[in-house]
A and B are shown apart, each in its own frame.
Chain A
Amino acid sequence: MFPALSVICFTLLSGAGYGLLILLCLDNAFDIGLALEGMRRNILAIVSLLLITIGLLCSTLHLANPKNAWRAFFRFRTSWLSREGVFAVLLYPFALFWLFMVWSNGVMPASGVEKLLAVVTFFLAVATLFSTGMIYACLKTIRQWNNALTPANYLLLGLMLGASIVLVGIDGGQGSTSAEKLVLGLTAIAALTKITYFYWIGKPAGPTINSALGFTRATVRLLDVGHGSGNFLTDEFGFELARTRLLWLRLVCIVCAFLLPILLLVSFDRSIFVNIAAMIFAFFGVFVERWLFFAEARHVVNLYHGAQRT
């Protein structure tokens, strides 16, 4: 699949934003020990909404005919893309109202309404992030996406990035150890899931050129693809990268997204610079991960263009 920058930025930024919002709401409603108070929390909440909004705006750049984008809210019953849009829009009033309550409440302990709003926002953020993953996971045409690890990755990486922002938001030295533990824990789980995913998609499966054309008892090879220059299908689905390049990028992804942040946080004393460095590496690593997510996905239509398997 062609790795479109608009979609990569959308899933990266919105993912981080939803992850951050989920953690903030959890902390507000159930006090998971982030030790975030007053202004710091408010600023982080605003950051999360900004990230979400920028991401969603990026996603509209992917549309060839954005003037009809408002229609995307009407197929909630069958389409994950529609569901994602509905959850994303539904989240705003609750999140803003929650932010208003938190803001006006200051350092006072959270009120009941505030907690209720936090819980609703939490569920909507989880639902949106899950739907983003399901947009890809529900496609039977792309085996690299069509599995349960896809939404799991989207959720975990979003949470991981969110946690790394929280850690920066808490001033280095005074920050809570639980925030650091959260980052470490989430990074470790996300890394495990992603590595499992890389193994998972390495296993050959799915249709072959033989079943695609119905000649299952003999070899089949493409003689002529029938079009002289590229077309929509080759532009969108024909993207291919050398195997060694892919492996290198996987390494970059694992090192930057997971290994370096963990190493930094474990081996240095807590300071704002370490936290910022860990966050930047995590974002860069997940950017590469998202790029790979598309670059490694092989749509079955490639079989008709001569690929022996996907």
Chain B
Amino acid sequence: MKLGLVIDLDTCVGCHACAVACKQWNSSGMSGPLTDYKPYGDEPAGVWFNRIRHYEVDEYPNSKTINAPMSCMHCEDAACVTVCPTGASYKREEDGIVLIDQDKCMGCNYCAWACPYGARELDRESGTMKKCTLCVDRIYDDNLPESERQPACVLTCPSNARFYGDFDDPDSVVSQKVRERGGYSMMPEAGYQPTNKYLPPRQKPLVEQHAEKAASTEKPLSQIQRWIAQQLTRQA
């Protein structure tokens, strides 16, 4: 099995709901708590497993806002695991999930240096490294109904931009999405072979500029006439 996430950059609205759900679920999970420093102070900061950043791609008027949620990619060639001197970081044979044994970590930060995706964050309170667990304590929990055995971030996403599944199974939702929508890896040249994939925004037609231009060269009077005509047809 090769478990991971697919994130749809076309539908993600950048609401940070997944990050909040992640924090809520994992605070009491195997790597919890996700310590907050000075939560009510001027500069609240803390540990998150999932962060969303916002970008603008291309130039106006063809620009598009992209919201990019990023958590651990559960890389196939995970240098964060090989550099760890204590063996606290490990990748599970059976499903490819990369985890950190909180009882073994010595907080040397080396794995965070090795991760290109900023997925690992040191908890200054516990002195240990923490990261996305792929909600391993949810997805295998037999006490939950089958439909809820999914990561908290996936379940919570209001715009259905997150999918979870087995990339080794060609019929899984994640494999299908990647196939149909041209799912890709972030920073592939780093060579980590991230498992998580991103779906590119759908192509929208370029903004039609001719109509607007034509309108602006119209005489003011005919603009008003056109507006009235529009209003009338709308009433009808």
Which positions in A face B, CB cutoff 8 Å? Answer: 1, 62-69, 71-75, 78-82, 85, 135, 138-142, 206-207, 211-215, 218-233, 236-237, 299-301, 303-305
Contacts and interface: CB of A to CB of B under 8 A. Distances in A.
A213 B54 CA distance: 11
Given A64-B128, A65-B106, A304-B68, 5 more contacts: A71-B88, A213-B57, A223-B54, A226-B53, A228-B43
A1 to B, nearest CB: 8
B186 A214 contact: yes
Given A72-B108, A233-B118, A236-B112, A220 B86 contact: no
A79 B83 contact: yes
Given A214-B186, A229-B44, A231-B45, A141 B59 contact: no
A187 B61 CA distance: 57
Nearest to B121: A232
Contacts of B191: 140
Tier of interface size on chain B: 35 or more
B122 A141 contact: no
A219 B189 contact: no
B87 to A, nearest CB: 5
13 contacts: A62-B109, A63-B127, A64-B122, A65-B127, A69-B106, A81-B108, A82-B86, A141-B114, A213-B57, A214-B186, A218-B57, A220-B66, A304-B68
Contacts of B62: 218
Interface of B: 16, 42-48, 51-59, 62, 65-66, 68, 70, 79, 81-88, 103-110, 112-118, 121-122, 124, 126-128, 184-191, 198, 200
B86 A74 contact: yes
Contacts of B56: 220-221, 223
B104 to A, nearest CB: 6
B122 A213 contact: no
Contact of B110 (A81, A221, A223): A81
Contacts of B88: 68, 71
Contacts of B83: 78-81, 138-139
